[in-house]
């Protein structure tokens, strides 16, 4: 059976090579060829022994998700629709800016959390992505953007993709093991060499997994909050019924003990007349008073039959002003790539639903819009 080497982090790859009687340095060589150089042909790995290259060609492969569509917006934002098999596809977005380039990565085909305002949740849930399918999005984007290193050329310090955010389709911490393996590759100096500050995991608040992430690979953390009290959050973010705000805030405080940044980012989609009042803003301040934090305020992107509306600009400004007057950093998410449905809250993809929320599987396809993701 052919093994996809993109499924292995450094430890797993070393173990696979050891099982073939190879020394650890051989695994490091191949890791660099795959991730730093973007190579998928064992025959071109010139410093690897010919006999090993032949073994690899017979028993292994390097295969990321297959591209279905590649679209570039007027502002330079680029979106890929990637085939992950069985009539399912995910979306990955690259957002270029003057001082950084951010890649927004998906972790599941669909999502099972059913947040009330999120179109991804309306599509249903099919499965977790594998490590190869998660890290394969970064691997593919690097190749398409011409960002792979040349063998023998040192690191200049400049990166086309300088930041990665796990904020696309799915709840990352519901796919913990595969996400952690992908994170380790993103941080590995023989692979992508990103700093922990430049890799962000977004979660709706799966408390035990937040603690595991803190203990395993504590990268920057963003929490999808969206409400200042349990009653409203139970409605908007149903996972809150299992892990209420008291438990979530305690988990955030614990996470900061190991986090690479000294604050938690809270994501907050503003819904007209639902969670955007002055009282909501003041309640938020009370909620996070013991949690060093920054808020990303996200304008809602409507989708058919959502039942929600975008807060007017003056209401967004007022909400932001209340937070900032109390000394809390609050930014309003800038829209990027909206002409190709790649803006914050517009990732959709293609999901053949296997969840139990419908009597049978159904297929939904972009341009359905999600309002849970951000970067």
Strand, coil or helix: 67: strand
Q: At what angle do helices 245-255 and 207-216 cross, to 10 degrees?
A: 0
Residues listed for the chain: 375
- The per-residue b/e assignment along 239-277, b for 16 or more CB within 10 angstroms, e otherwise, is bbeebbbeebbebbeebbeebebebbbbbbbbbeebbbb
Per-residue CA distances from 142 to 137, 217, 252 (Å) = 9, 23, 32
- In the residue annotation, 59 being an active-site residue is answered as no
Beta strands in 55-161 (DSSP E): 60-61, 66-72, 78-85, 88-96, 101-104, 108-110, 125-128
Euclidean distance between CA atoms 333 and 269, whole angstroms: 10
For the chain, the C-alpha Rg in angstroms (whole number) is: 21
Q: Which member of 22, 39, 91, 133 is catalytic?
A: 91
Per-residue CA distances from 347 to 165, 250, 309, 350, 354 (Å) = 14, 31, 18, 10, 20
Per-residue CA distances from 139 to 75, 79, 149, 165 (Å) = 23, 14, 12, 14
- In the residue annotation, 344 being an active-site residue is answered as yes
Q: Which member of 104, 111, 118, 344 is catalytic?
A: 344
- The per-residue b/e assignment along 107-122, b for 16 or more CB within 10 angstroms, e otherwise, is bbbbbbbbbbbbbbbb
Sign of torsion over alpha carbons 152, 156, 157, 162: negative
Catalytic residue ranges: 91, 344
């Amino acid at each position: 059976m052919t093994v996809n080497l993109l499924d292995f982090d450094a430890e797993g790859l070393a173990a696979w090579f050891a099982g073939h009687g190879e020394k650890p340095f051989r695994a490091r060589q191949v890791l660099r060829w795959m991730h730093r150089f973007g190579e998928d042909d064992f025959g071109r790995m010139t410093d690897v022994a010919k006999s090993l290259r032949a073994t690899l060609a017979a028993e292994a492969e390097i295969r990321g998700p297959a591209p279905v569509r590649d679209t570039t917006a007027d502002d330079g934002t680029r979106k890929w629709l990637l085939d992950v098999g069985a009539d399912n596809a995910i979306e990955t977005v690259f957002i270029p800016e003057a001082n950084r380039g951010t890649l927004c990565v998906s972790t599941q085909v669909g999502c099972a959390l059913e947040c009330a305002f999120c179109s991804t949740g309306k599509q249903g849930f099919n499965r977790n992505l594998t490590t190869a399918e998660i890290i394969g999005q970064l691997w593919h984007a690097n190749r398409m953007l011409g960002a792979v290193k040349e063998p023998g050329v040192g690191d200049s310090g400049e990166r086309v993709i300088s930041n990665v955010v796990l904020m696309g389709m799915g709840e990352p911490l519901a796919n913990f093991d595969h996400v952690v393996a992908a994170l380790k590759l993103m941080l590995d100096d023989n692979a992508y060499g990103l700093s922990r500050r430049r890799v962000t995991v977004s979660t709706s608040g799966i408390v035990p997994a937040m603690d595991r992430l803190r203990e395993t690979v504590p990268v920057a953390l963003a929490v999808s909050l969206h409400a200042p009290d349990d009653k409203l959050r139970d409605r908007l973010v149903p996972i809150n019924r299992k892990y209420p705000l008291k438990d979530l805030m305690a988990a955030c405080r614990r996470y900061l003990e190991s986090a690479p940044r000294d604050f938690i980012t809270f994501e907050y989609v503003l819904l007209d007349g639902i969670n955007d009042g002055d009282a909501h803003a003041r309640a938020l301040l009370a909620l996070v008073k013991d949690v060093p934090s920054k808020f990303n305020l996200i304008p809602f992107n409507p989708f058919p039959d959502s039942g929600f509306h975008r807060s007017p600009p003056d209401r967004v400004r007022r909400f932001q002003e209340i937070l900032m007057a109390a000394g809390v950093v609050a930014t309003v998410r800038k829209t990027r790539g909206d002409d190709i449905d790649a803006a914050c809250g517009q990732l959709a993809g293609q999901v053949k639903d296997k969840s139990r929320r419908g009597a049978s599987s159904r297929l939904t396809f972009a341009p359905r819009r999600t309002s849970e993701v951000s970067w």
